[in-house]
């Protein structure tokens, strides 16, 4: 499925997750965040960088892993990405939805 973000045509799946991570950049990220009613801050970017590092190393993502990361505490994570923080954070990060998310 195609979607236009930042004046570019992007491939996404039925849930809106990018199909090809190579299409992701900060501009695309901010457009997706805007669709989620999230204004990116430095803390959001720290979380996104952490998620990218985990994805690059093919390490599974989970709320528990985020909690233990030292990047952010769990309460702040929920505040930054309200309504399903791991789902929204991975959506914005341009990586596939974690298997731990329903």
Among 29, 31, 36, 101, the active-site one is 101
Asked about 101 being catalytic, the answer comes back as yes
Counting beta carbons within 10 angstroms of the beta carbon of residue 78, is it exposed (0 to 12), middle (13 to 18) or buried (19 or more)? Answer: middle
CB crowding 34-57: b at 16 or more within 10 Å, else e: eebebebeeebeebbebbeebbee
Give Cα separations from 59 to 29, 49, 66, 82 (angstroms).
21, 14, 12, 23
Q: Which residues are the active-site residues? A: 101
């Amino acid at each position: 499925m195609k979607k236009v973000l930042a004046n570019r045509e992007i491939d996404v799946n039925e849930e809106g997750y990018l199909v090809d991570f190579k299409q992701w950049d900060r501009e695309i990220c901010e457009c997706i965040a805007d669709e989620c009613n999230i204004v990116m801050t430095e803390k959001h970017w720290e979380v996104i960088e952490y998620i990218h590092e985990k994805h690059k190393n093919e390490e599974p993502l989970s709320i528990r892993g985020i909690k233990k990361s030292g990047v952010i505490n769990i309460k702040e994570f929920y505040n930054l990405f309200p309504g399903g923080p791991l789902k929204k954070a991975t959506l914005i990060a341009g990586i596939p939805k974690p298997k731990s998310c329903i």
